[in-house]
C-alpha cells in the first residue's frame, strides 16, 4: 500500500548495522519473542524516545539452566513481527544462535553476586550472567554506531533483571538510558507472560493467585504489620495449600533487594516479589509498595 510504513526484519549483525546506518538514537526493546501486550506496550513506550524503534527476538540459551524450558520456549516469529509492525516498530533483529554467537560465547559478564545471587539468581544460578552477557551483546549490536547513544526499555515484571541491567549500564558507562515500564496484566490481574501459554485452563484460573497473594502482603504492610517473616510465611503457606510450589514470596527494599530494616517499612521503599511453580510452569510477579 503506498505510504505504508515498512518494518525491516534483519537476522545478522551486519544487516542490523546497515538498517540502523544514519540513525541517531535507537530506542530498543529486547525480547525473547512470543510477544503479548506487555511487550507491545514496551515498544509503544520506546517509540517516541528515539529516532528508530528496534526490537530484538532471541531466545537466549545462556540464561536457561539445563533442566529449564529452552527447547520448548514458544517461538512465533511471524506472529511476533505482525504485532511489532502494528505497534510501530521500525526494525526487528531476530538473529539465529549462529548469527549472535558465531563462536561459543566464552567471555561472560559477571554481575555483582550481592544483587545477582539473590532471589531469581538463587533459584536459577547463572541466570543473570546469561542475561547480562546477552543484553550487553545486543546493546553493542544496536547502539555501537549511534552518535547519541540510546534508550532501552525493560519491564518491571522482571524487577531484579531491571536492577541488574541498570547497574551494568551505570558501571560500564554505557551511553544508554534504561527506562522501566509498568507491568501489563490480564483483566483478572495475572501478569502477562510468554510462559502463561503453558498453563492449562484450570491452571490459568488459579494463576491469578500469585498476584493476589502479593496484594494481600501489601495490605498487611498497609495495615501496619511489621513482622515481615510472618507476612512471608503466610503467603508461602497460602499458595502451597492451593497446590503451588513457591520459590519465594518476600518483602524487599527497592534499593538493593535486601530484607528491609524496621526503618525501611514505609510506602515507596519496598517491593514484594514472588516466584512460584504451578504445575510445570514457573511464574514470577512483583508489586511495589
Ligand atoms: P521476555 O521476552 O520475557 O524476555 O521479556 C522481554 C521484556 O518484556 C522484558 O523487559 C520484560 O520485563 C518485559 N515484559 C514481559 N512481560 C511483561 C509484562 N507483563 N509487563 C511489562 N513488561 C513485561
pLDDT at 5: 73
How high is the mean pLDDT of the chain? 97
- Quote the CA–CA distance of 209 and 189 in Å, as a whole number: 9
Cell, residue 147: 552518535
Q: What is the average pLDDT across 179-195? A: 98
Per cent of the chain over pLDDT 90 is 98
CA of 110 to the centre of ligand 1 (A): 22
Packing angle between helix 127-143 and helix 159-171, nearest 10 degrees? 60
Residues 127 and 121 sit within 8 Å (Cβ to Cβ) = yes
Catalytic residue among 36, 39, 266, 269: 39
CA of 62 to the centre of ligand 1 (A): 18
The answer, yes or no, to whether any atom of ligand 1 lies below 6 A from the CB of 183, is yes
Residues 151 and 177 sit within 8 Å (Cβ to Cβ) = yes
pLDDT tens digits, residue range 23-76? 999 999 999 999 999 999 999 999 999 999 999 999 999 999 999 999 999 999
β partners of residue 105: none
- In the chain, DSSP assigns E strands to 8-10, 26-31, 52-57, 91-93, 150-155, 176-181, 245-253, 270-278, 281-288
3 has a pLDDT exceeding 80: no
Strands 26-31, 52-57: pairing is parallel
pLDDT tens digits, residue range 114-148? 999 999 999 999 999 999 999 999 999 999 999 99
Amino acid at each position: 500500500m503506498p505510504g505504508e510504513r515498512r518494518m525491516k526484519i534483519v537476522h545478522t549483525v551486519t544487516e542490523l548495522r546497515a538498517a540502523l546506518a544514519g540513525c541517531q538514537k535507537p530506542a530498543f526493546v529486547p525480547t525473547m519473542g512470543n510477544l503479548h501486550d506487555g511487550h507491545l506496550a514496551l515498544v509503544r513506550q520506546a517509540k517516541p524516545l528515539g529516532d528508530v524503534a528496534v526490537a530484538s527476538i532471541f531466545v537466549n540459551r545462556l540464561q536457561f539452566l539445563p533442566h529449564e524450558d529452552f527447547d520448548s520456549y514458544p517461538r512465533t516469529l511471524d506472529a511476533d513481527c505482525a504485532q511489532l509492525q502494528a505497534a510501530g516498530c521500525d526494525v526487528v533483529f531476530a538473529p539465529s544462535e549462529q548469527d549472535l554467537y558465531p563462536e561459543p560465547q566464552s567471555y561472560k559478564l559477571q554481575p555483582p553476586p550481592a544483587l545477582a545471587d539473590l532471589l531469581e539468581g538463587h533459584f536459577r544460578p547463572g541466570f543473570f550472567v546469561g542475561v547480562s552477557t546477552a543484553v550487553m551483546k545486543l546493546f553493542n549490536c544496536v547502539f555501537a554506531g549511534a552518535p547519541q547513544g540510546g534508550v532501552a526499555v525493560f519491564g518491571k515484571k522482571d524487577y531484579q533483571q531491571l536492577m541488574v541491567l541498570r547497574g551494568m549500564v551505570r558501571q560500564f558507562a554505557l551511553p544508554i538510558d534504561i527506562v522501566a515500564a509498568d507491568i501489563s496484566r490480564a483483566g483478572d490481574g495475572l501478569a502477562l507472560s510468554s510462559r502463561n501459554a503453558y498453563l492449562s485452563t484450570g491452571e490459568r484460573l488459579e494463576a491469578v493467585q500469585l498476584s493476589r497473594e502479593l496484594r494481600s502482603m501489601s495490605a498487611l504492610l498497609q495495615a501496619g504489620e511489621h513482622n515481615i517473616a510472618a507476612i512471608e510465611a503466610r503467603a508461602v503457606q497460602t499458595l502451597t495449600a492451593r497446590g503451588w510450589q513457591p520459590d519465594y514470596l518476600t518483602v524487599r527494599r527497592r534499593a538493593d533487594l535486601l530484607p528491609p530494616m524496621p526503618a525501611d517499612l514505609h510506602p515507596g521503599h519496598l517491593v514484594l516479589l514472588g516466584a512460584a511453580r504451578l504445575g510445570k510452569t514457573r511464574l514470577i510477579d512483583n508489586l511495589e509498595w
